[in-house]
Each structure stands twice: as C-alpha cells, then as structure tokens.
Amino acid sequence: MLSNRLGVLLVTALAPAIWGSTYLVTTELLPPDRPLLAAVLRALPAGLLLVLITRRLPTGQWWWRAAVLGTLNIGIFLALLFVAAYRLPGGVAATLGAVQPLLVAGFSAGLLGARLTTRTVLAALAGLAGVSLLVLRADAALDGLGVAAALGGAVVMALGVVLSKRWRADAPLLAVTGWQLVAGGLVLLPVTLLVEGPPPPVLTGANLLGYGYLAIIGAAVSYALWFRGINALSPTEVTFLGLLSPLVATLLGWLALGQGLTPVQGLGGLVVLAAVVTAQLPSRTLVRS
C-alpha cells in the first residue's frame, strides 16, 4: 500500500516538473510576445486529441461541470498567469503563486470537510518561503494589476483542484482531461484573438516543435497525470507537488541556459523539497462524499 502511494506521488509529481520546463521551451522555441497564443495552442489541440482518442463526450451535468473545471483549471488560470508574467518579475509571480497550498487547504476544509492541520499550514508557509528564496530578487518591482492577477490565478487553480476532487466522473480519465482542456482552450481563444490578434503567418520548425511539446507533453500528458493524482490523493497533497515547478524551472535555467545559482537559491530549493515531503506524510482526514 505504501509503495503504491509512493508510486502515485512520484507519477503525479511529473506534471509540475513538466510545467517547470515551460519557461525554457517558451524562451528558446516559441515566437516572442505571444503568450496567450501559446496557452491556446497548448490546451485546445491537446483537448481535441484526447476527445478523439477516447471518443467520449460529457453527459448530463458533466457538460457544465467540465466547462467550470476547464475554465478554472486552464482558461482563467492561464490567462491570469500570463498577465502576471507580463507585469511582474518572474520571481514575484512564482512567489505569489506559491500561496496555492494554503488556499487548497482552506477550500478542502470548506468544500470537502478535510481537517486543516497545523502541519499543513506550517508546510505551506515553509513552501512559500522556500520559493521566495529560490526565485525572488531584492530589487523586484511590484505592480498592482500583476499582483492581483497572480493571486487570482492561485485562487482559481486552488478552487479547480478541490472541485476536481469533489466532482467524480464515471468517464475515463483521459476523456475528462480532454473535456477540460477543450473548455479552457475555448475560453482562451476569443481573449487571445482580441489581445494578440491572429497567429503569425509563418511559423518556424522550432516554433512548431515548441507548440507540439506544450500540447502533447505540457498539456495532454501532464494534465492527465495531474488529474489522476487528484483522484488518488488528497487535494492538499497534490497541490504541494506544484511547488516543484519553480524548482525545476530554476534548475533548467542553470543547466541549459547557464543562469547563476546562488547558495540562497540552493537553500530555498531544499526548503521547498522539505515542505513537499512534509505535506505527503500520511495523516487521517475526513472527506465528505
């Protein structure tokens, strides 16, 4: 039982690890200044592919549930994420996003009846501190709209994670993942056309490779692993794994782009890992059906 749970944790952790590669792929392979286009091409094709593979459409209340979950987990979240990325230094945006475990713990207590423990709160605060040491810079500037977007993104994603646990579908996991990706992509599409206009007339081979990676690996595979983890674990356990994303992004920047890595960042990475491990220690929680 313990080894099976560890296996689920490790597989689920692959999702935020993959998301940590998004910055590297975006900066090295994608056309500049088109973040919303990247979000649409990441979500919509992947969702359509999964729907075609599974040949399953929502039924009954899952039409609106899939729309709500896709809007929260993907559509609104990615839009706010990119607003924050444009208006804030990356370290500030990542640090504000690291409040998500606290938010998920709170939503889980209110919507699932899960017990909010002191250990969870302390681990969440440690994770927030670790991310700030890992990515935050002393000269980072704040922007009101950017801060609101970053915090709003953390709120909608946290709510989406908890609702994904509360609403269980009888359909295959890949189908449910596809529904959410399609819904999120459709929400993003008109916003993208309004803000960024039509796609570039010419895309290079590197551009196509980058978009293909984000759609297949960064969305279809990673979100399936993420939602599988939500089904098997508690929302709080899953959301702490999300702290691995800025850690992986920092390591890839050091390994692939030659970015510096300071002792303070190393300490922050160790604190993040300690918070993630602490949050996974078994505990008994009561969950309402």
Q: Single out the residue of 61, 80, 34, 52 nearest to residue 187, CA to CA.
A: 80
- In-domain check, residue 235: yes
Averaged pLDDT, 180-189: 96
Is the pTM higher than 0.75? The answer reads yes
- Give the count of domains, the chain: 1
Residue 207's CB is within 10 A of a number of other CB atoms, namely 18
pLDDT tens digits, one per residue of 186-229: 999 999 999 999 999 999 999 999 999 999 999 999 999 999 99
- Between CA 149 and CA 82 the distance in angstroms is 9
> What was the pLDDT predicted at 72?
95
Dump strand ranges (E) for 63-210. none
- Between CA 149 and CA 85 the distance in angstroms is 9
What are the helix (H) ranges across 55-99? 62-70, 77-87, 90-97
Signed CA dihedral, 46, 169, 15, 116: sign only: positive
- In-domain check, residue 285: no
Q: Which domain range does residue 245 map to?
A: 2-280
Phi, psi of 206 (to 5 degrees): -65, -40
> Are 171 and 56 within 8 A, CB to CB?
yes
Six-digit token pair at 84?
Answer: 């924050």
Q: Give percent of the chain with pLDDT exceeding 90.
A: 59
Averaged pLDDT, 56-82: 92
The single-letter code of the amino acid at 41 is: L
- In-domain check, residue 288: no
- In-domain check, residue 248: yes
- In-domain check, residue 289: no
- Between CA 79 and CA 36 the distance in angstroms is 7
- In-domain check, residue 121: yes
Residue 37 has pLDDT above 50, yes or no: yes
Residue 142 has pLDDT above 90, yes or no: no
